[in-house]
Amino acid sequence: MENIAYTPDGWINLRRHTVARIALGRAGGSLPTREVLDFSIAHAAARDAVHAELDAEALRAKLAALELPILLLATAAPDRLTYLHRPDLGRRLDEASRETLKRARDSATETDVAILVGDGLSAPAAAAQAPAVLARLVPELRRRGLKRAPICIVRQARVAVEDEVGSLLGAKAAIILLGERPGLGANDSLGAYLVFGPRPGRTDAERNCVSNIRPAGLSPDAAAETIAYLVTESIRRRLSGVQLKDERNHGRLA
């Protein structure tokens, strides 16, 4: 069999600056075997992340140091397969979770912020990144004088479930941290979504998103600072989404 020589790409030096698939080179008219295998491994890792189940008890143990009550909730999607086939069920709670939140609100004072952690499309991302973000975010919200509801860990969660949770807790704003749809080579990315005046029916245009929270992306500290700024401005200005921008560097040169 004829050996086909590997031909490097002229931009190969740029690879040290990014995990993106650039400058892969070629072997004849095809990708090198190494790159094909790396792609297959990344694809398998992404599929595993999508199908993984969230260990809510283990996550609750990691969050115990935050010294906030923690509630374990679930959406109307009874299992992972249903969750993937029926996105609408992941946007609303099951009846037991609604009752849990009603009891929690009865014993709570006025709340500024409801904080949720959900598996989303990558339970490993939520388990790995959310504790580090909240370790910085919760004290910062406390420093800013914002009253926090119990932290809600929600299994089989979509972004919009924060609307129902925030509404049942009577919160002025809601934040959900959940695993983002895995990319090829980025199966551990966490997203944070903020909405002011949470209630069922809110649209994506009414949310702010802080994405790509992971070691190779936006650091937990930087993400927490951004989220704290956005939620503070959201409550002060009584809005969120396309009307709310991160203006901390407004007027400065990058």
Q: What is the pLDDT of residue 110?
A: 77
Query: Hey, which residues does 114 pair with through a beta bridge?
Result: 174
Q: What is the pLDDT of residue 3?
A: 65
Q: What is the pLDDT of residue 229?
A: 98
Name the one residue in this structure whose structure tokens are 């002060």: 236
Query: Is 251's pLDDT higher than 60?
Result: no
**CA distances, 105 to each of 46, 91, 93, 131, 178 (Å):** 37, 20, 16, 24, 23
Query: Is 109's pLDDT higher than 80?
Result: no
What is the tens place of the pLDDT at every residue in 28-71? 888 888 888 888 998 999 999 999 999 999 999 999 999 999 99
Q: What is the pLDDT of residue 218?
A: 96
CB neighbours (10 Å) of residue 96?
9
Cβ pair 136, 60 in contact under 8 A: no
Q: How many residues does the chain have?
A: 254
Cβ pair 157, 120 in contact under 8 A: yes
Mean pLDDT value across residues 161-165: 98
Mean pLDDT value across residues 103-115: 84
Q: What is the pLDDT of residue 108?
A: 59
Mean pLDDT value across residues 236-248: 95
More confident residue, 18 or 98: 98
Which pair of structure tokens corresponds to residue 242?
A: 């396309």
More confident residue, 186 or 166: 166
Which pair of structure tokens corresponds to residue 6?
A: 């590997």
CA distance 101 to 111: 13
Cβ pair 220, 128 in contact under 8 A: no
pTM for the model = 0.89
Confidence of residue 250 (pLDDT cuts 50, 70, 90): low
**CA distances, 116 to each of 3, 45, 72, 147, 236 (Å):** 55, 25, 10, 14, 21
Query: Is 2's pLDDT higher than 70?
Result: no
Which pair of structure tokens corresponds to residue 58?
A: 């283990």
Query: Hey, which residues does 69 pair with through a beta bridge?
Result: none
Q: What is the pLDDT of residue 107?
A: 65
**In 3D, which of 248, 212, 252 has the Cα closest to residue 228?**
248
Confidence of residue 7 (pLDDT cuts 50, 70, 90): confident
Q: What is the pLDDT of residue 188?
A: 93
Mean pLDDT value across residues 174-199: 94
Confidence of residue 160 (pLDDT cuts 50, 70, 90): very high
Backbone angles phi, psi at 208, to 5 degrees: -110, 140
Q: What is the mean pLDDT of the chain?
A: 92
Cβ pair 42, 68 in contact under 8 A: no
Confidence of residue 252 (pLDDT cuts 50, 70, 90): very low
Share of the chain above pLDDT 90, in %: 75
**CA distances, 79 to each of 83, 89, 169 (Å):** 6, 10, 25
**In 3D, which of 170, 187, 167, 171 has the Cα closest to residue 179?**
187
Ranges 5-9, 23-27, 97-101: which has the least confidence: 5-9
